[in-house]
Structure 1
Amino acid sequence: MYQLRGVTKQYRRGKDTVEALAGVDLTIGDGDRLVIQGPTGGGKSTLLQMLGGLDRPTAGSVELDGTDLAKLPEARLTKVRAESIGFVFQSFNLIPTLTAQENVETALVPLGLRAADRRERAAEALRSVGLGERLGHLPSEMSGGQQQRVAIARALVKNPKVLLADEPTGNLDESMRDEVMDVLEDRWKEHGLTFVMVTHDTALAKKAPRLVTIRKGRITVTENATP
């Protein structure tokens, strides 16, 4: 479970101080599915980075299962990210010179698995997102929706506790958006993940059991935001 208390994040921009998050309090339970929405520059991606341990707050605490990510030494924080948190980004972030299977395997390298085990788990992860016949294909040989499914397989292959997605359908057309969201929601249901997604897509936001709206660093939580 996540417990955020008084999370503030300030950046320096020239002589000015910009407050991306302003005293955010938020609880996210195990297995929750939550969408974060708001205007550009309102703090959405900053909040997601706090949940993923990719950035540290200026003040406040970000606890995951009772451990404050903000206070962990960098080596331990890296270990938490490697073992417990999967990330999916808008731009896919695939390595262009690696095959689909090799891209997925990169998530397992920090776990110290044998090469044969990495290959087996990566292949199974790709099969689980419908890409069993694309193991040896490069990103340039796949559609945008297929590339995003590779990114999802890479995020899930390590069996994380948390899946964080930042505009995962932002570069996709409507049909590919629906395809990718079906995969994400199926994996959430199947694995009991805590799933947090940032999106500008109002249609997707309306389907979320919980919606966090963030403006000027302050949040409003809507429960059971269903169509």
Structure 2
Amino acid sequence: MYQLTGVTKRYTRGKETVEALRGVDLTIADGDQLVIQGPTGGGKSTLLQMIGGLDRPSEGSVELDGVDLATVSEARLTRVRAEKIGIIFQAFNLIPTLTAQENVETALVPLGVKPAERRERAAEALRSVGLGERLTHVPSELSGGQQQRVAIARALVKRPKVLLADEPTGNLDESTRDDIMALLEGLWREHGLTFVMVTHDSSIARRAPRLATIRSGRITLTEQRVAY
């Protein structure tokens, strides 16, 4: 479970101090699906970075299963991210010279998984996202939707507890967007993941049971009725 308390994040831009988050309190239970939405510059991606341990707040605490990501050592934080948190980005962030299977394997290297097991788990993860026939293809040989599926497989191959997605459909057309969302929602239910996603797309936001709207660094939570 996540427990965020009084999370504030300040950035310095020249002589100006900007508060991206202002005293955010948020609880995310195990297995929750939460979508974060808001205007550009409102703080939604900053909040996701706090939840993912990619940045630390200026004030407040970000606890995941009792471990405060705001104060834990860098070595422990890296370990928590490697073991518990899978992250998907809008830009895919695949290594262009590696095959789909090799890209997925990179997530297992920090965990010390042996090469033979890495290959087996990467292949299985790619099969689970419908890319069992694309193991040896490099990113330039894949469509945008297929590249995002590789990125999803890379996030899931380490069997995380938490799946975070920052605008995962932002670079995709409408049809591919719907396919990727159906895949993500299916994986969320199948694996019992805690799933947190940032999106600017209101049609996607309406699909989530919980919606966090951020404006000027402050958060409003809404419970939504969703039919699956």
| TM-score bucket of the superposed structures, by smaller chain | over 0.9
**Structure 2 gaps, min length 5:** none
Q: Tell me, what secondary structure is at the counterpart of 1:101?
A: helix
What residue number does 2:32 align with? 32
Secondary structure of the 1:122 match is: helix
CA contact 1:34–1:210 (8 Å) conserved in 2 = yes
1:78-128 CA distances to partner (integer Å, 9 max, x unpaired)?
Answer: 000000000000000000000000000000000101100000000000000
What percent identity do the matched residue pairs reach? 79
The answer as to whether partners of 1:211 and 1:225 remain within 8 angstroms in 2 is: no
What are the ranges of 5 or more consecutive residues in structure 1 without an aligned counterpart?
none
The TM-score with structure 2 as length reference comes to 0.98
Distance 1:153 1:169 in 2: 15
Residue 226 (structure 1) shift? 3.7
Q: Aligned pair count?
A: 227
Query: What CA distance in whole angstroms lies between the structure 1 residues aligned with 2:148 and 2:211?
Result: 23
Provide Cα deviations, 1:197-223, integer angstroms capped at 9, x if missing partner: 000000000111000000000000001
Q: Is the 8 A contact 2:206 2:224 kept in 1?
A: no
CA RMSD, 1 decimal: 0.8
Correspondence for 1:140: 140
Tell me, what secondary structure is at the counterpart of 1:26?
Answer: strand
CA distance in 1, matches of 2:113, 2:28: 31
The aligned counterpart of 1:101 is: 101
Quick check: 2:211–2:221 contact (8 Å CA) kept in 1?
A: yes
Alignment partners' CA distance in 1, 2:125 and 2:207: 26
TM-aligned CA deviation for residue 224 of structure 1: 2.0
Question: Residue type of the partner of 2:196?
Answer: V
* CA distance in structure 2 between the aligned counterparts of 1:41 and 1:70, rounded to whole angstroms: 22
Partner amino acid, structure 1, of 2:211: L
SS at match of 2:186: helix
Aligned position for 2:216: 216
Equivalent position of 1:80 in the other structure: 80
**Matched residue, 1:160:** 160
Distance in 2 (CA, whole Å) between partners of 1:185 and 1:211 is 15
Matching residue of 1:8: 8
Q: What is aligned with 1:71?
A: 71
Which residue does 1:181 correspond to in 2? 181
Amino acid in the other structure paired with 1:215: R
Equivalent position SS for 2:70: helix
Offset, 1:183: 1.1
Distance, in Å, in 1 between the alignment partners of 2:195 and 2:222 is: 16
Specify the code of the residue in structure 2 equivalent to 1:11: Y
1:120 paired to 2:120:
yes
Distance 2:135 2:217 in 1: 41
Corresponding residue for residue 62 of structure 2:
62
| Corresponding residue SS for 1:3 | strand
User: What letter corresponds to residue 180 of structure 1 in structure 2?
Assistant: I
CA distance in 1, matches of 2:15, 2:226: 43
